[in-house]
Chains A and B, each alone.
Chain A
Amino acid sequence: MTAILRTILLTNARDRMLPAVWALALAALLASRALGGAMLVEGRETALAYASLSLRLVVVAGLVMCVCFQMRRLQETREIEAMLARPLSRTALVLALAGGYGLLAAAAVLPSVAVLGLALNPDAAGLVLWGASLLLEAWITVAFALFLACSLTSAAASALTALALYALSRMAAGFHDIAQAGLGDALASPVTGLPLRLAAEAMSLVLPRLDLFGQSSWLVYGAGGEWGLGILAAQAGIYLPLLLAATVYDLKGRQF
């Protein structure tokens, strides 16, 4: 297990994924600050919201690319087979991979959160909540990417699918609202309405509620609101084992 963790960390050191994410995060912070300065009022609040949005996108995109392309390379260079040649179960392999990428996610998120805190001075409790929720969101995204990277044979396809699932998960509440309200001609139609509404409702139930994570309002107005870290931890606590179990299930059916 330790060897696998070391492999992942060394591969990432070679790929310079973390420095790239940190550099992009810094650029996003500077751009957010500049855009905030263009506002008539509430420039700091605007900069905080832009920084929150852009850091989240940088972290998620960076991690998805990293997991999908590295996993593909590990399979192509038969390093996965070498790992499985050791006395190591496939379940332990998935857990080690998830642990390694989870550590990478923490290494990408935590410095970015600290720099945001120093640069834009948000509410301290709000920053802690936002940072913790970003880390949980990053872990769920990593688990999505790991599952897809193990299931699909193309790195590009798995990365794009992971990003699409991430986007859909951030729209989960919207799907629920649309299903309930029956908006639009197709949803209001007696023929197509019911199946489309059921599909939208099913998506809102099956996808993780990533829209609850990383709220910019926590940075702007402080922690508080209808939900807190408890709901987010529960969501991560359910979805991480689900995705890891799916990855183990898929890997166990594979011939290497």
Chain B
Amino acid sequence: METARRSLALLAMLTALGAQVLLASHVAPLRGDDDLLPPPPPKALLRLEAFGDDQALFRLLGLEVQNFGDGEGHFSSLSSYDYQRLRDWLELLDGLDGRSSLTLALAGALYGQTGDQARARMMADYLYRRGMKDPVRHWHWLATAVWLARHRGHDPALAMRIAVDAAALRDPGIPEWVRSLPSFVVARMADQDAARQMVEAILSSRPDLAAEDRKALERLAR
């Protein structure tokens, strides 16, 4: 009698397991939220979400922004992103940590690599405004913004504006060659040659850059 009951329990367990496998295969393609780039949360809500630790929330959201649209076995083309919303996200992250260079790397070395001119201009403009807030630390991202605006955004006016403002910076922490950025804008060069030249100049002037930052910049010259 006891053995029969045990067998019945085993049968019930196996039946339930089979049903679970069937259900899981049926719901496999379903996703709770298929929004490629959801709108950023309001600032008041963010304060509650942070549970008092803005830095931890910044890093959690930073990973999310880096991986928006990618994951679960599929990758999204940069042309399918809403870049205005992306910029809102980057600015929201800057509000949580204004010292990090993560958002600059995301804008310059990841989302700036779009083939769409308007989107590249938007990232160049973001790099410009964010980089000018702390130009001594982020002058290399200003140089990247010049290249992005000139060679990806095909907007010489924006490139020249960034180059002129960067060239006007006077600080021992900013290398001399940054003053010649306006001539970089007017020079006729192939996109990749220009990128290579700029990245080489940055890397030789910033030997202190972390290996990850160097790799991010080298992505531009590939």
Contact = CB atoms under 8 A, between A and B. Distances in A.
Contacts of B102: 39-42
A53 interface: yes
A235 to B, nearest CB: 12
Interface in A214-230: 214-217, 220-221
A42 B101 contact: yes
A239 interface: no
B69 interface: no
A50 B56 contact: yes
Contacts of B37: none
Contacts of B60: 49-50, 53
Interface string B40-70: 0010100110111111101110110010000
Interface string B151-190: 0000000000000000000000000000000000000000
B44 A178 contact: yes
A181 B210 CA distance: 41
A174 interface: yes
Interface stretch (A82-90, A149-157, A165-173): A165-173
A217 B56 CA distance: 8
Most buried by B among A43, A45, A220: A45
A46 B48 CA distance: 21
Interface string B98-110: 0111100110011
Contacts of A216: 53, 55-56, 59
A35 to B, nearest CB: 7
Interface stretch (A70-78, A97-105, A205-213): A205-213
B102 to A, nearest CB: 5
A51 to B, nearest CB: 10
A177 interface: yes
A216 B48 CA distance: 16
Most buried by B among A40, A177, A181: A40
Given A40-B105, A40-B216, A171 B100 contact: no
A46 B102 CA distance: 10
Contacts of A49: 53, 55-56, 58-60
B2 interface: no
Contact of B62 (A46, A178, A221): A46
Interface residues on B, range: 20 to 34
Interface string B72-106: 00000000000000000000000001011110011
A52 interface: yes
A41 to B, nearest CB: 4
A38 interface: yes
A32 to B, nearest CB: 10
A156 B161 CA distance: 63
A39 B48 contact: no
B103 to A, nearest CB: 10
B212 A39 contact: yes
A39 B62 contact: yes
Contacts of A38: 63
Contacts of B62: 39, 46
Given A42-B105, A174-B47, 12 more contacts: A35-B63, A40-B110, A42-B212, A43-B212, A49-B53, A171-B47, A174-B48, A177-B47, A183-B44, A212-B52, A213-B52, A215-B55
19 contacts: A35-B63, A38-B63, A39-B66, A40-B105, A40-B106, A40-B110, A40-B212, A41-B101, A41-B105, A41-B212, A46-B63, A49-B59, A52-B53, A53-B60, A172-B52, A214-B52, A216-B53, A217-B54, A220-B55
